[in-house]
Amino acid sequence: MTEFAPVSGPSGADGRAAGTARGRAALTAGALGVVYGDIGTSPLYALRTVFSIEHGAVRPTGEDVYGVISMVFWSITLVVSIKYILFVLRADNEGEGGVMALAALARRTLHEARGRGTVAVVLGVLGASLFYGDSMITPAISVLSAVEGLNVSTPALSNLVLPVSVTILTVLFLVQRWGTHRVGNLFGPVMLLWFAALAAGGVAEVMRRPGILAGLSPTYAFTFAAGHPYVAFVAMGAVVLVITGAEALYADLGHFGLRPIRRAWFWVVFPALTLNYLGQGALLLRDPANTANPFFLLFPGWARLPMVILATAATVIASQAVITGAFSVSGQALKLGLLPYLRVRHTSQQAAGQVYVPAVNWILFVAVLALMVGFRSPERLATAYGVAVTGTFLITTSLLLVVARLRWRWPVWKVAGAVVVIGGAEITFFTANLTKVGHGGWLPLAVAVVVFTVMRTWKRGHEIVTARRTAMEGPLSDFIEDLHRTGALRVPGTAVFLHHGKDTTPLALRANLEHNHVLHEHVVILSAASKHVPQVPDEERLTVDNLRHRADGIVHLTARYGFKEPHDIPAALRLAAASRAVRHDIELDLDPDGASYFLSHISLRVTKAPGMSGWRKKLFFALARNAASPAEYFHLPETRTVVVGAQIDV
């Protein structure tokens, strides 16, 4: 095996180093602008929902208000500050976050400990499926809650709430193609102003009633739960709204990195949220009638319309948080073989996780608009919130404990403490939200079931096809031995066969010899490999293998690409030809401008063969048929690309 050294190649190291400091600053601003949009806009509707629960279960009395404020503060502290910020964000998988990345890390950890990782993968798929369900609700409920501030500041404009909300979200989904780092840099200053406004509004009311600070004590939450267990249980189902952005925060880890996310949380977000919730609690104690909309009524009349505008901008950012999280989860699912190939665009030179997935973007867009038009109000959407996100919390905690015990070597007492404190709180959240299933909570669960079915079906179908394709391909070594023994008519030119490795024979290569009875003079079996770096230097791009000197004009070429780079196969071939390399008796004579490219195209036929049920086979067939074209992905010239078909029964 030989590494290619090109005639000349740019290093680019100095340029990358010079941009490091600027890159860190941009990621920090982007983290504040994108990661915290979801959880940062929860004050718009969280307490309003708690005190508007049907039948007035939670009332704006002193005992209930102090109990709710205490539950809110300690929910944020336990679930977000301790679980996610301090621990979960450490469980990255090559810099990426999200339940899928955590599942992959847990699976690898179990394998290293000689355990079975199947359960971890299933939990990861289920968690990702639940995340997709809530990703549709967050943009709808956030933007509607902000624009509904018109009902408080300017009631005459209340009929514009829905059309304005639809317009805002349409623009947001249209700009996704430009990348989250650009959007984040634009949103960073807006979110800084938003959190400053949250803190200012809260401080003003707390100063009028400083006794509300006592609500930070956990004793009020315990007293409230002990004195009114049913009311506290119902309240927990709505209190979860204050932490619904936590999973999106973790999913966006690959976009911005650990340190920027932590700094933004402890220096800006957590203090601002705490002050605002305290202020809303003080406002309710001063006048119980303020339960109609405690967030906007927290501000003086002259400031309400500006706050509607600022809140609308902030909720656009809240929507951005879950959209980018959905992109990250989708990219991870692709890497794990849980989805068919989708077009994925990397939008940043610094972070591998910053991607744009057009198909996911437009599916989310249609779903969000349908929810907004169907439910029409934040209160009705709030009933659909909670079940899926709390289910994801539990899955994340379970996977985290596997990593903590086996990889981080936590002692048993520490794991047990996390189960009791964090796990106990999340189980309570989950069971409290089960009461919402019949009132809209079924919707994200239904979406999760569909996504879970699609992912598991694609995974299983791909395993079946791969096994049968491998059997059809046969070992490459046997093919070469037969070629030496029987000979073949060689014709001038270079043929490039794209293939996943060098152990088996490309179907297109086998079919070309069997049907045309000829073989090109120069045959390159080419495999593309993705690396977790922005760019691969030219001197590290290519590796050639002479297949143990048995190939007689057949070589295997590996082309490596960074996450930012397009998988341009003709360009790799030109680089190989320009190197004019003869290393260790390996001669690579290429004609990149005249090379013919061969792709093996698999046609699926649904049969009664065992492996999957009939309806899942049909679903797999539909997914495979709509996958993106590999010729387009690899930048192959249409006029010199030959697709050779083969049929596999599924």
CB atoms within 10 A of CB 17: 9
Strands 345-346 and 518-530: unpaired
d(CA 269, CA 37): 10
Q: What is d(CA 478, CA 638) in angstroms, rounded to the nearest whole number? A: 32
**From the CB of residue 587, how many other CB atoms can be counted at a distance below 10 Å?**
12
CA distance 169 to 184: 16
Cα 501 from Cα 565, distance rounded (Å)? 21
**382 within 8 A of 45, measured Cβ to Cβ:** yes
pLDDT at 1: 45
What CA–CA distance (Å, rounded) separates 420 from 418?
Answer: 5
| Cβ-contact 187, 354 below 8 angstroms | no
Between the two ends of the chain, the Cα-to-Cα distance in Å is 37
Dihedral sign computed on CA atoms, order 485, 590, 497, 338: positive
Beta pairing, strands 518-530 & 489-498: parallel
Contact 28, 265 (CB under 8 A): no
pLDDT at position 271: 96
325's tokens: 């999280």
φ/ψ of 531, rounded to 5, equals: -115, 150
User: What are the residue ranges of helices labelled H in 610-650?
Assistant: 614-625, 630-633
The pLDDT of residue 587 is 55
Residue 73: exposed, middle, or buried by beta-carbon count in 10 A (0-12, 13-18, 19+)?
buried
- Beta strand 596-605 with 554-561: parallel, antiparallel or unpaired? unpaired
94: left (phi over 0), alpha (psi -120 to 50) or beta: left
Q: Which residues, 6+ apart, have CB-to-CB distance to 75 below 8 Å?
A: 239, 240, 242, 243, 425, 429
State the SS3 of 196-264.
HHHHHHHHHHHHHCHHHHHHHCHHHHHHHHHHCHHHHHHHHHHHHHHHCCHHHHHHCHHHHCHHHHHHH
Whether 247 and 138 have beta carbons less than 8 Å apart is answered as no
Query: What is the β-pairing status of strands 596-605 and 489-498?
Result: parallel
* Residue of 547, 535, 526, 520 lying closest to 635 (CA atoms): 526
Tokens found for residue 320: 């951005």
Q: Which residues, 6+ apart, have CB-to-CB distance to 330 below 8 Å?
A: 339, 342, 344, 355, 357, 360
Reported as a single tens digit per residue, the pLDDT across 365-416 is 888 888 888 877 776 777 777 788 888 899 999 999 999 999 999 999 999 9
Q: What are 598's strand-pairing partners?
A: 497, 642
| Nearest CA among 545, 543, 559 for reference residue 480 | 545
DSSP character for 292?
G
> Between vectors from CA 102 to CA 107 and to CA 120, what angle results, nearest 5°?
35
- Give the chain's residues under pLDDT 70: 1-26, 28, 53-56, 115, 178-186, 255, 321, 332, 335, 344-355, 379, 532-534, 548-551, 563-565, 579-589, 628, 649
pLDDT in tens, 611-648: 788 888 888 888 887 776 778 778 888 888 888 777 77
Q: Which amino acid is at 601?
A: H
Nearest Cα neighbor of 519 from 484, 470, 567, 548 is 484
| E strands, 61-163, in order | none
- Write out the two tokens for 138: 């967050």
Distance CA 248, CA 36 (A): 9
Q: What are phi and psi of 583, to 5 degrees?
A: -125, 130
The candidate with the shortest Cα–Cα distance to 294, out of 36, 72, 34, 55, is 72
Which CA distances in Å does 265 have to 28, 68, 81? Answer: 11, 22, 8
Specify the DSSP class assigned to residue 540.
Answer: G
Domains of the chain: 21-329+340-357+373-440 (1.20.1740), 471-649 (no CATH)
Please give the DSSP secondary-structure letter assigned to residue 268: I
d(CA 256, CA 176): 16
Residue 12 per-residue DSSP state: -
Q: For residues 210-242, b (16+ Cβ closer than 10 Å) or e, as one string? A: eebeebbeeebbebbbeebeebbebbbbbbbbb
The residue behind tokens 């969280």 is 46
State the amino acid at position 103 in one-letter form: A
Residues 6 or more apart whose CB falls under 8 angstroms from that of 298 comprise: 201, 202, 204, 205, 276, 279, 280, 283
What SS3 class is residue 529?
strand
> 224-273, pLDDT tens digit by residue?
999 989 889 988 988 999 998 888 788 777 767 788 888 889 989 999 99
The whole-angstrom separation of Cα 577 and Cα 60 is 76
Find the angle CA(26)-CA(32)-CA(34) to the nearest 5 degrees.
Answer: 90
pLDDT at position 551 is 57
Q: Which two tokens stand for residue 386?
A: 């909670």
Round to whole Å and give the CA distance between 638 and 597. 9
Strand partners, 526: 498, 557
